[in-house]
Amino acid sequence: MPSAPQHAPTHRRPAGRTKLPSLAAATVLAAGGLAALAGNAGATDGNLLANAGFESGTLDPWSCSGGTGSIVNSGARSGTYALKGAVGASDTAQCGQTVSVQPDTTYNLSAWVQGRYVYLGATGSGVTDPATWTVGGPDWQQLSTSFTTGPSTTSVTVYLHGWYGQGGYLADDLTLTGPGGGSPSTPPSTGTPTGTPTGGPSTPPPNVPLPVAPYIDMGAWPTPSMPNMAEAGGVKGYTMGFVTGIGCKASWFNAYDPRTDWAKDQIDALRAAGGDVKLSFGGAGGTELAAACGSVDSLFNEYDAVVNAYNLRYVDYDIEGAAIADTASNDRRSAALAKLQQAHPGLKVSLTLPVLPEGLTSEGVAIVKSARDAGVNLDLVDIMAMDYYRSGTDYGDAAVQAAQSLFGQLKALYPAKTDAQLWAMVGVTPMIGENDDHQIYHQAAAQQLVTFAERNHLGLLAFWDATRDANACTGGSLSKCTNIPQQPYEFAKIFSQYTG
């Protein structure tokens, strides 16, 4: 990206650059839930929580939302029993216990947990929820936090929960230390919600809708600030490019290892604001991982490592240049993506491919067919509606025509899908302003595409790229501006009108 069958400029970054300073991403998310009032009955060894290791073999006095909690006698961190939360698509499996505390007092809270996106927190009148969380993994991890009660606080609710669609969790060996208080005067009924505890990471529920996600060249210098750009342009997220391969090893544009969470602070900030990111593999420069890795398993391992590093809901594969005709690599990618979706249920996969107004090239159609036949559940086919190298072409009309052509091709590939389902698989990514062939995609063309998308409910509108939309032109460089008259982030503001 950008690319067409005829042309594909590359993106370079200077060496020796430093990582961005951490961005604040403070937010709390409503998690729902409830707790059973326990006072301090059964607490031992200075621990205010009763049945904190679940060794009674029962939930009491813990209570869990919607019957999602149970006690299991396998896999405990210590002893015989542990708490299991059955997280679902619409329930975080929140389990809680309310205890008596003293006002104006500091308390320490900890728990051992196992699972993806497990939260620990406490709520109460006059208490700022100290929620903490872990992205998770196969091993037990300890969550620890502290809080100070308010001048009139007499009880707090300690809670645990997972996150929608992220699978179940285990918890064991909880502790709440500090001076105990008297029994609260009005205990709530067990199993009845007593409020809405909040907390956890700056991460929204999985698959936050992103009908608009402009591409952003993370290899630009200096590194773009996605949160600042999102605020200026009114979009909620971006398609981050590009992860390539140094040999069979995932790398941000041959410079940074995704396993180190490079730019994770920016992603956290976007998620804190209610957005998310798509992460794109491939692009015009560097070696595409599917070509660099010689086996399906080794390719899967690299994709899987990146998905885990950023807890991704969306992955994109920008296939262009020589990669589009590499049948062996494309089939290897398809098999790896099928395996990736098995490992990450609900992961949305898109393919970004070159296009002409008449539709995908034959190689592009073959790539979609390869993914389909391998069992990949494709969320989107995104077309690079740019750089046609056809003098006099109206790029606004051409983008709409390309989308209509793609719809027809998808209809042939997926005959069982309805028209609405097929339109939802269509993504369109023009190059804003002056294209590499010096043709112009102007603001009116952007509005034309938004209107077309609203009529047909397309799955995605994007553009190349967000940095150029800043209109910070220096020396006519197309990497910094659109080379046409515009206000800063004018294209983002037009595209952000589209809501799906």
289 and 173 fall within a common domain: no
φ, ψ dihedrals at 111, nearest 5°: -160, 150
147, 177, 207: which is the final residue of a domain? 177
**Structural domain includes residue 28:** no
**434 φ, ψ to 5°?**
-75, 125
CB 388 within 8 A of CB 437: yes
Q: Do 173 and 265 belong to one domain?
A: no
Residues 49, 55, 56, 62: is their CA dihedral positive or negative?
A: positive
Measured CA to CA, the distance from residue 319 to residue 306 in angstroms comes to 18
Task: Name residue 277's beta-bridge partners.
Answer: 238
Residue 170 domain flag: yes
For residue 114, how far is the Cα from the chain centroid?
21
Instruction: Fill in the DSSP letter of residue 22.
Output: P
Q: What is the pLDDT of residue 28?
A: 26
Annotation marks residue 320 as catalytic = yes
- The pLDDT profile of the chain, 500 residues, written as one tens digit per residue, is 643 333 222 332 222 222 222 222 222 222 333 333 333 444 556 899 999 999 999 999 999 988 899 999 989 999 999 999 998 866 789 999 999 999 999 999 999 999 988 989 898 877 777 878 887 778 999 999 999 998 888 998 999 998 767 889 999 999 999 998 864 333 333 333 333 333 333 344 456 899 999 999 998 888 889 999 999 999 999 999 999 999 999 999 888 999 988 999 999 999 999 999 999 999 988 888 999 999 999 999 999 999 999 999 999 999 999 999 999 999 999 999 999 999 999 999 999 999 999 999 999 999 999 999 999 999 999 999 999 999 899 999 999 999 999 999 999 999 999 999 999 999 999 999 999 999 999 999 999 999 999 999 999 999 999 999 988 675 555 567 899 999 999 999 999 999 99
Residues in the chain: 500
Answer yes or no: do 154 and 230 share one domain.
no
Q: Is residue 194 a part of any domain in this protein?
A: no
Please indicate, yes or no, whether residues 95 and 221 belong to a single structural domain of this protein. no
Q: How would you class 92 by CB atoms within 10 Å of its CB: exposed for 0-12, middle for 13-18, buried for 19 or more?
A: buried
Q: What distance in Å separates the CA atoms of residue 323 and residue 2, rounded to the nearest whole number?
A: 14
Q: Is the C-alpha dihedral spanning 36, 38, 44, 49 positive or negative?
A: positive
Same domain, 152 and 227: no
CATH of the domain at 173: 2.60.120.260
Q: Are residues 308 and 386 in the same domain?
A: yes
Report yes or no on 322 lying in a domain: yes
- From 130, 157, 177, the end of a domain falls on 177
Per-residue HEC secondary structure of 111-176 comes to EEEECCCEEEEEECCCCCCCCEEECCCCCCEEEEEEEECCCCCCEEEEEEECCCCCCCEEEEEEEE
Among candidate residues 302, 320, 434, 490, the one labeled active-site is 320
Q: Is 222 within the bounds of a domain?
A: yes
Structure tokens at 394: 């109206």
Single out the residue of 175, 2, 190 nearest to residue 77, CA to CA. 175
Residue type, 12: R
CATH code of the domain containing 479: 3.20.20.80
Would you say residue 347 lies in a domain?
yes
User: Which residue reads 């560097």 in tokens?
Assistant: 286
Same domain? 157 vs 242: no
Q: Which helix (H) or strand (E) holds 302?
A: helix 296-310
Does residue 312 fall inside a structural domain?
A: yes
Taking each continuous run of H as one helix and of E as one strand, the counts in the chain are 10, 23
Give phi and psi for 170, each to the nearest 5: -115, 150
Are both 280 and 390 inside the same structural domain? yes
The span from the CA of 96 to the CA of 346, in Å, is 28
- Which pLDDT belongs to residue 128? 72
Q: Can you read off the two tokens belonging to residue 139?
A: 């091993």
Contacts of 227 (CB under 8 A, 6+ apart): 23, 266, 269, 270, 273
Residue 423: give the domain boundaries. Answer: 215-495
From CA 180, how far away is CA 81, in angstroms rounded?
26
Rounded Cα–Cα distance for residues 473 and 30 (Å): 42
* pTM (whole model) above 0.75: no
Show the DSSP H helices in 344-460 as ranges: 362-374, 395-413, 419-423, 443-456
403 burial type by CB count under 10 A (0-12 exposed, 13-18 middle, 19+ buried): buried
Angle between helices 395-413 and 443-456 (to 10 degrees): 30
29/27 Cα distance (integer angstroms): 7
Does residue 145 contact residue 326 with C-beta atoms inside 8 Å?
Answer: no
If one counts the domains in the chain, the total is 2
**Could you tell me what percentage of the chain is helix, strand and coil, using 3-state DSSP and rounding each to the nearest 5?**
25, 25, 50
Q: Which residue type does 257 have? A: D
Q: How many CA within 13 A on the CB side of residue 320?
A: 30
Residues 422, 306, single domain; the answer is: yes
Both 232 and 319 in a single domain?
yes
Q: Measured between alpha carbons, how far is 470 from 483 in angstroms, rounded to an integer?
A: 11
Are residues 426 and 359 part of one domain? yes
The residue to which tokens 């100290």 are assigned: 130
Examine residue 205 and state whether it is found in any structural domain, yes or no. no
First to last CA, the chain: 23
Are 333 and 434 found together in one domain? yes
pLDDT attached to residue 20: 27
Domain finish residue from 177, 196, 223: 177
Peptide bond into 407 cis (omega under 30): no
Instruction: Say if residues 162 and 83 touch (Cβ distance below 8 Å).
Output: no
